Amino acid sequence: MTRHRPPSVAEQLDALFASPLIHDLTAELGDLGRRTRRHPLAMHLAYGAMARIYRSANRLDAELLSGDTWQLVLERYNEGAARHPRGVEMPPTTPPLLADTYRHVRDHLTQDENLETLQLAFTTHSVALAQRIGLLVPQGGSRTRPHPRRTIYGDGTVVRPLYNRAERGRQDPEAQEHARHDGQIYGNNLVAIAVRGEAVQQRVILAVGRVQQRGHEADEAIRLIRQVHAVAGGAIQAVVYDGAFRGIQHEILMSELGLLVVNKVHAGRRDGDQRVHRQIPLGASRHVVRGRACEHSLVASNGSIHEVGLDDAGQLVLSGPLRRQQVRRYQRGGGGWRFSLGVVVPCPKGSYVTWISPHPQVGERGHGRPDQLRLLPESDPHFQRLYGLRNDSESINRGYKRTLIADRAAARGWRRQVLDLASWGILTNALAWQTTALQRQGAEQTMFRDSATKDVSKSGGRLDTLVGSSRARSSSRSDGSPTQPGPLASIIRERSLMASRRMFLND
Ligand SMILES: [Zn+2]
């Protein structure tokens, strides 16, 4: 993945109102808000997302109240609503939606039961959006080599509260002290699960939540992965997560959901700079050569399978990692899944493939085997392709925190913070949708150029639109960064040219 400029305010607004997500969610959640609402729920969801662009509701209100900005927002909103089969348009005389009204609806949405419904709906419609842009689709990759577009990944991040603990009366009573590798941090530990395509800005946030019990991030991550899996099912092949997952989580994801887990192995101890890995005995593997049994002793170390042998001095030594041949998955009788990993055992009498279980075995205590053995170990050439998604989960955290002022939560209490992260998710997903739409337009444009040489008459009016569109796009680049948004009204006006020829993705 290459470095790229962050999306401009114009691009974010354009994507937000063009993508179906706010209307999809509203179609499902409409009843959650009060029925007497003056603004459709979709506009409230858009407000929450716009507050992330402007980093605060107060700044956003100032924008919405200047000149005819609100009127332009209303028009753009209505354009999107009109195109959506279940979109709810606003009468042209609707007054601006401002923070006071938004906060009222927000607090209603974040009541326990409503928040749970919202989180589930967010996952349902984000998975659907991902699938519409070619992610989490049941084609491509294999058990042995999962496809990155069918691999979900996630991470937790601690968001500091709005107020310091020292400020009397103004506190976030739900913030907690969290231990991290670099010390203690006070706040709410939020978790996001995502999937992404190869292009920049092609990331879709699939689920958001909050670690309910301090030190138990893995529990929330598993809960969210189950939630995504309940919607996407077999379209998911693998999960990438960091060291918060240990043997027990690997076992849950493999045997309950049938997923490969891609992560590094916890070292047993450190020896200076060296990480020393435990060795988990896997027993003897036997093959028969010319009527005689030949035995190879195998262990798991740093995720890979090795053969144990003796060197010239009679010391035990490990072979290099045995090459993976195939990963197989079988349905268990009582439900769930059982994996088997085939590795090539080299033998002077004839190399052969042996099958190893990554699950805890009878007679083995605890989850040492799934903790230390990987279906896709770090030594495998395919590992890095998937593990690279770890970097993206870190940029999810950075990307979200960039929208916060002074690195502090945008609202008090974890429920509002989860909604706030979901609002940022709506924006991120809208961008992914829009990026793909533009890519497909680009493909169409290239096809058009090819055919133009053959049939000039067909190019007629379309060329103007294409030129107009690219002009609108390049001018948007100077609109300012997300930290310094320009005046909303002029941004929206500039974008209208592009919006006029926006093409919808085919379902
Ligand atoms: Zn042998």
Cα of 353 to ligand 1 centre, how many Å? 11
pTM: 0.87
What's the pLDDT score for residue 160? 84
Task: Compute the distance from residue 341 Cα to the ligand 1 centre, in Å.
Answer: 19
Q: Find the range with the poorest average confidence among 174-188, 200-214, 218-232, 235-249.
A: 174-188
For residue 491, the model assigns a pLDDT of: 65
Ligand 1 centroid, distance to 283 Cα (angstroms): 14
pLDDT in tens, 384-437: 999 999 988 888 888 898 888 877 888 888 999 999 999 999 999 999 999 998
d(CA 433, CA 196) in angstroms, rounded, equals 11
Residue 35 clears pLDDT 80, i.e. is over it = no
For the stretch 322-365, pLDDT in tens is 999 999 999 999 999 999 999 999 999 999 999 999 999 998 88
Summary mean pLDDT of the chain: 85
Residues in Cβ contact with 155 at an 8 Å cutoff, skipping those fewer than 6 apart: 191, 192, 241, 242, 390, 393, 394, 396, 397
Alpha helices, DSSP H, located in 84-148: 99-109, 112-132
How many CB atoms within 10 Å of residue 406?
6
How many residues belong to the chain?
Answer: 507
The alpha carbon of 287 and the centre of ligand 1 are apart by a number of angstroms equal to: 6
CA atoms within 13 A on the CB side of 253: 33
pLDDT, residue 444, reads: 66
Distance from residue 310's CA to the centre of ligand 1 (Å): 15
Q: How far apart are CA 324 and CA 304, in angstroms?
A: 9
User: Identity (one letter) of the amino acid at 303?
Assistant: G
- Tell me if 219 sits within 8 A of 213, measured CB to CB: yes
Q: What is the DSSP letter of 350?
A: -
Taking the centre of ligand 1 as the mean of its atom positions, its distance from the CA of residue 321, in whole angstroms, is: 16
**Residue 348 alpha carbon to ligand 1 centre in Å:** 7
Distance 351 CA to ligand 1 centre (A): 7
Instruction: Tell me the CA–centroid distance for residue 418 and ligand 1, in Å.
Output: 56
Please say if the pLDDT value at position 55 is more than 50: yes
CA of 289 to the centre of ligand 1 (A): 7
How far are the Cα atoms of 249, 322, 386 from residue 226, in angstroms, in the given order? 12, 32, 20
Task: Find the 95 Cα to ligand 1 centroid distance in Å.
Answer: 80
The alpha carbon of 303 and the centre of ligand 1 are apart by a number of angstroms equal to: 23
Cα-to-centroid distance, 458 and ligand 1 (Å): 69
Answer whether residue 256 shows pLDDT above 90: yes
Q: Is the pLDDT of residue 159 over 90?
A: no
What was the pLDDT predicted at 475?
36
For residue 505, what pLDDT band results from cuts at 50, 70 and 90? very low
Interval between CA 374 and ligand 1 midpoint (Å): 23
CB count in 10 Å sphere of residue 293: 9
- The Cα 349–Cα 346 span in angstroms is 9
Please check whether residue 224 is in contact with residue 393, taking contact to mean a CB–CB distance below 8 angstroms.
no
Residue 240 backbone zone (phi > 0: left; psi -120 to 50: alpha; other: beta)? beta
Please tell me the distance between residue 363's alpha carbon and the centre of ligand 1 in angstroms: 26
**pLDDT score of 507:** 32
Do residues 45 and 32 touch, judged by C-beta distance below 8 A? no
How close is the Cα of 288 to the center of ligand 1, in Å? 8
H or E stretch covering 317: strand 316-318
CA of 354 to the centre of ligand 1 (A): 11
For residue 171, what are its two tokens? 């506190």
* Centroid of ligand 1 to alpha carbon of 364 (angstroms): 26
- Using 50, 70 and 90 to split pLDDT, how confident is the model at 143? very high
Least confident of 146-160, 304-318, 436-450: 436-450
Give residue 346 CA to ligand 1 midpoint distance, Å: 7
Whole-angstrom CA distances from 318 to 297, 349, 371, 434 are 10, 19, 19, 51
Higher pLDDT, 28 or 236: 236
Give distance in angstroms: CA of 380 to centre of ligand 1.
23
**What gap in Å lies between CA 181 and CA 227, rounded to an integer?**
28
| Distance from the alpha carbon of residue 214 to the mean position of ligand 1, in angstroms | 50
Where does the pLDDT of residue 6 fall: very low under 50, low under 70, confident under 90, or very high at 90 and above? confident
Quick one: pLDDT at residue 32? 73
What are the structure tokens assigned to 378, written together? 């770090």
Decide if pLDDT at 278 tops 70: yes
pLDDT (tens digit per residue) in 199-223: 888 999 999 999 999 889 999 999 9
Q: Is the pLDDT of residue 99 over 60?
A: yes
Task: Give the mean pLDDT of 29-44.
Answer: 80
> Given the DSSP bridges, would you call strands 337-345 and 352-356 parallel, antiparallel or unpaired?
antiparallel
- Is residue 156 within 8 Å of 220, Cβ to Cβ? yes
Q: How many CB atoms neighbour CB 495 within 10 A?
A: 26
State yes or no: pLDDT of 503 exceeds 50: no
Ligand 1 mean position, distance from CA 282 (Å): 16
Judged against a pLDDT cut of 60, whether residue 105 lies above it is answered with yes
pLDDT band per the 50, 70, 90 thresholds, residue 174? confident
Give the Å distance between the CA of 145 and the centre of ligand 1: 27
Residue 378: how many CB atoms within 10 A of its CB?
16
Measure the CA–CA gap between 184 and 180, rounded to whole angstroms: 6
Tokens of 291: 């009527």
**How many angstroms separate the CA atoms of 473 and 469, rounded?**
6
With a CB cutoff of 8 Å and minimum separation 6, the contacts of 221 are: 154, 156, 191, 193, 241, 244, 245, 249
What is the helix (H) or strand (E) element at residue 251, kind and residue range? helix 247-251
Rg of the chain (C-alpha set): 26
Kindly tell me if the per-residue pLDDT of 438 is higher than 70: yes
Contact 197, 134 (CB under 8 A): yes
Domain boundaries, the chain: 9-116+392-495, 120-269, 274-372
- Contact predicate 187/254, CB 8 Å: no
Give the contacts of 439 (CB within 8 A, at least 6 positions apart): 199
* pLDDT at residue 301 in the model: 96
Q: Select the more confidently predicted residue: 490 or 195.
A: 195
Question: Residue 372 Cα, ligand 1 centroid: separation in angstroms?
Answer: 25
- Residue 294 Cα to ligand 1 midpoint, Å, equals 5
Report residue 380 as tokens: 């495998």
User: 112 and 99 in contact (C-beta within 8 Å)?
Assistant: no
Q: What is the mean pLDDT of residues 146-151?
A: 98
Calculate how far, in angstroms, residue 317's C-alpha sits from the geometric centre of ligand 1. Answer: 17
pLDDT at 253 over 70: yes
pLDDT tens string 474-496: 333 333 333 345 567 666 665 55
Quote the ligand 1 centre to 459 CA distance (angstroms): 69
Cα 276 to averaged position of ligand 1 atoms, centre (Å): 28
pLDDT of residue 406: 76
**What pLDDT was estimated at residue 445?**
60
Across 145-174, average pLDDT: 82
| Nearest alpha-carbon partner for 327 in 247, 390, 261, 426 | 261
CATH classification of 120-269, choosing from 2.40.320, 3.30.450, 1.20.120, 3.30.420?
A: 3.30.420
First to last CA, the chain: 28
User: What is the C-alpha to C-alpha distance for residues 50 and 13, in angstroms, rounded to an integer?
Assistant: 7
Q: Which helix (H) or strand (E) holds 370?
A: helix 368-372
Greater model confidence, 440 or 369:
369
Q: What is the DSSP string of 288-300?
A: EETTEEEEEEEEE
